[in-house]
Amino acid sequence: MRARILQLGTLAAAGAALALSSAPVWAQAMGAGDGAGAPARRAGVIQPYIEVAQVLSAEIAPGDDVLTFTQVAVGVDINVQGRNSGAAVSLRYERNIGWGEDSIDTDTLSGIARGTLAVIPNALSLEAGALAARTRADGGGGASANPLVREDAESRIYSLYAGPSLKTQVGRVGIEGVARVGYNRFETDAAIINPQGALVDAFDDSVTYLGQLRAGVRAGEVLPVGLAVTAGGFQEDIGNLDQRVRDLYVRGDVTVPLSPSLALVAGAGYEDVQISSRDALRDANGNPVIGSDGRFVTDPSSPRRIAFDVDGLLWDVGVLWRPSSRTNLAAAVGRRYDSTTYYGTFTYTPNARSALAIAAYDGVSGFGGVINNALAGLDSDFEAIRNPVTGDFGGLVSGTQGQALVGSLGSVRSAAFRGRGVRASYQRQFGRTTAALGAGYDRRTFIAAAGTALAPADGLTDESYYVIGGLTRQLGANASLTTNAYVNWFDGAGNNDVTALGASAAYSQAITRRLSGRAALAVDYFDSEFNAQDFAYATALVGLRYDF
C-alpha cells in the first residue's frame, strides 16, 4: 500500500481562519458583515438537475492506465434570498460505474449549504451550515478531488453546525450574541503512514461549541468614546484520545474616534486557554493499541493530561477605518495565548461587479473547528463553483461579500494546533464573464501532551500555500465556457512536501430549453516526497444535463 500524505487540497479553509475566540471583538461588531455595497446576486433560484456522462481518464505518469466509466449524477442548486432570511445550497450525488472486471464503482455526496432564518426580524435569527466533500489523501499527491480517486485514496469530509444569533438594542446599549454547536468528521479508507513507516493518527471526528455575548454603546451616545464588554468561549471535543480544546475569555474595549472614518481601538481582559487529552490503550509491551480504522484506541481510564495551559491578561490595540460603506479595515496587534498575535480583515466592494476580501488570523482549535468556522464565515448568498469534470465541490464560491471558502485544509493530524495565516479572495464580473480567485498561506503548530501517543506531534509545524480560481463566460444565449485551476504547496514536518496543480475546462451548449450537452477536459499533476514518481492524469468527459 502506498504511503499516504497528511495534507488535503483544493478544498477550503479561508473562513477557517476566523476562529471567533481569536478575532478581536470590535472587528466582529464593526466588520464587513453588513454587505453594504456588495455585488448584486441572483435570488429565488431553485434548480434540480440530472446528468449522464461518459468519462475517459488516462494516467500519463508514471504508468499508462486508462479508465472508462459512466457517470450518473443528480443534484440541486438553490439560492433564495429575502429581506431578513436567505439560503444557498449546492448538493450533488454522483455514481461512477466503472467498465471492466477490475473497475471500482464509487458513490459521492458533495455539497455546501448556508442559511439564515429570521425568527424576530432584525433581532433574533437561526443560522446553519453544512459541508460534504471528498478529496485525495494518498501518496499520489493528496491535493486534488479528481475522478481517479479509488477506495485506497479517497477521503471524505463532513461538517455541519447550527445555532441562534442575536442583535438588538436595549435603550442606548447594543447587544449582540451568537451560539452554535457543530459536528465534524473525516473518513479515510486506509491508515496514513509517514515516509518513515510510522502511523500518523488522522483526525476522526469532533463536536464544537461556541458562544459569545457583547454589550456596548457607540461613541457619542453616552461618552465621547465607545465602550463594550464581551464574554465568550470556544470548545472542541476531539474523538481522538478524548482531546479537548477550551478557550474562555472576558474583555472590555474602548473605541476612540479620530475622524468620521477612522478610530483607534484598545481592549484588555482575561483568558483561560487549555488543551488536554487522555492516552491510548497500551499493550503488554507498552505500545499504543491501534484500532481497525488505523487510529489510536483511547484509554478512558487514563488521567487527563495537560498539553497547553495559559491564563491571564490578554490585550490588543488597533485601528478601524471605514471611509465609505464599500471599504472596511479592522487590524490589531496584541498579546494572546502567551505570545504576540496579529489579526485583521479588509473588504473592498467598489461597485456591484467586484469584491475583494483579505483576512489575517490566529487561533487554537482542532481540524473540525477549522471547518466549522469556515462555514460560519460564509454569507448565506453564494454560488458554489464545481469541478466541471468530476462535479466535486473544490472549495471556491462566489458570494455577496467576496468571501471565498478557498484554500487548503492542510494537515489531517488529529492533534490540536495553533493556526496562523492569511487568505484573500477576489471576484469580478465584467460583461458576460464572471471570475473568482483565492489565495492564502496557513501555518499550523501542533500541541500534544507529553507521555501520550500523540506526543511525537507536539511542536511539529505544517505549512500550506494555495491559489485557486474559476472563470465562467457566457457565449451567447445558449452556451457557456467554464474553467478552473489550482496550485497547492504543502510543506509538512519531516520533509513531507507535496506540490499539486491542475486545470480544467468545460463547454456547455443548450439543445432544448431544459436539455444541454457538455464536454470537458482536465489535467492534474502531483509531486510528493512520499513517492519516488510524480503522478499526472488527463481526463475527458462528454455528457448530457437535464434541468427540471
DSSP 39: P
Inform me whether the pLDDT recorded for 394 exceeds 60: yes
Integer Cα distance of 51 and 467 in angstroms? 29
Answer yes or no: is 201 within a domain.
Answer: yes
Q: How confident is the model at residue 44 (pLDDT cuts 50, 70, 90)?
A: confident
Inform me whether the pLDDT recorded for 35 exceeds 50: no
Least confident of 94-103, 303-312, 500-509, 512-521: 94-103
pLDDT computed for residue 29 by the predictor: 32
Answer yes or no: is 187 within a domain.
Answer: yes
Does 105 or 269 have the greater pLDDT score? Answer: 269
> For 11-25, what is the mean pLDDT?
34
3-state secondary structure of 219: coil
Q: How confident is the model at residue 418 (pLDDT cuts 50, 70, 90)?
A: very high
Inform me whether the pLDDT recorded for 157 exceeds 50: yes
Q: What are phi and psi of 370, to 5 degrees?
A: -60, -45
Is there a cis peptide before residue 62, judged by omega within 30 degrees of 0?
yes
Answer yes or no: is 193 within a domain.
Answer: yes
Inform me whether the pLDDT recorded for 533 exceeds 80: no
Answer yes or no: is 282 within a domain.
Answer: yes
Answer yes or no: is 438 within a domain.
Answer: yes
Query: Strand ranges (DSSP E) for 337-388?
Result: 339-351, 354-365, 382-386
Q: How confident is the model at residue 39 (pLDDT cuts 50, 70, 90)?
A: very low
Answer yes or no: is 512 within a domain.
Answer: no
Inform me whether the pLDDT recorded for 15 exceeds 50: no
Distances (CA, A) of 359 to 23, 75, 332, 422, 537: 10, 32, 12, 6, 34
Integer Cα distance of 8 and 370 in angstroms? 13
Inform me whether the pLDDT recorded for 145 exceeds 60: no
Nearest to 382 by CA among 395, 367, 399, 368: 399
Answer yes or no: is 469 within a domain.
Answer: no
Which residue segment(s) compose the domain that 198 sits in? 7-59+66-462
- Helix, strand, coil percentages (3-state) for the chain, rounded to 5, are 5, 65, 30
Mean pLDDT for the chain overall: 83
Number of domains in the chain: 1
Answer yes or no: is 127 within a domain.
Answer: yes
Maximum separation of any 2 CA atoms in the chain, in Å:
78
Tell me the percentage of the chain whose pLDDT exceeds 90: 50
pLDDT computed for residue 105 by the predictor: 78
Q: Rg of the Cα trace of the chain?
A: 24
Asked if residues 244 and 235 have their Cβ atoms less than 8 Å apart, the reply is yes
Least confident of 212-221, 305-314, 424-433: 424-433
